[in-house]
Amino acid sequence: MKFPGTPALKKTRFTEFLIRANALHERGFEEWLFWPGMLFNSLDKWWGDHGKRDKPHEGLDICLYKDRRNRILRLDGKTKIPAMYDGVVVKIFNDFLGKSLIIEHGLPNGDNSRFCTIYGHTNPHADLRVGSIVKEGISLQP
């Protein structure tokens, strides 16, 4: 079940880690739900007045899901957010719903190429700092 016209989220490495880290299958997880405004590049808000955003959405809001009993459930502030790949924290900064973390990763091809992942609206472990090494699948939050 999703809002008409919104695409389904395919299983990815990150969503599989997220489901596993939070034991969502044990809670009857069936599928992610998206309303207008939750998807990347959307100009709509899905909260508050449901008006227009000042600029296009730069993320993907993964917070609602349906369980096998057809109930709509919401992830909360205690949700464990897993790192997608091994890496190093390069920045932690305040955002309007917590903190954002930027983690730098190396590509497996061995040519020293780098890429970054951004995790927004988190409540990171107190001991997580710039320079901290993280392991894939391990939670960034307590």
CA distance 123 to 71: 26
pLDDT in tens, 91-125: 999 988 889 999 999 987 778 889 999 998 899 99
Q: Name the nearest CA neighbour of 76 among 11, 28, 122.
A: 122
In the DSSP assignment, the letter for residue 25 is G
> Residue ranges of the domains in the chain?
13-74, 87-134
pLDDT in tens, 3-42: 555 555 667 888 899 999 999 999 999 988 887 788 788 8
- pLDDT given for residue 63 in this prediction: 86
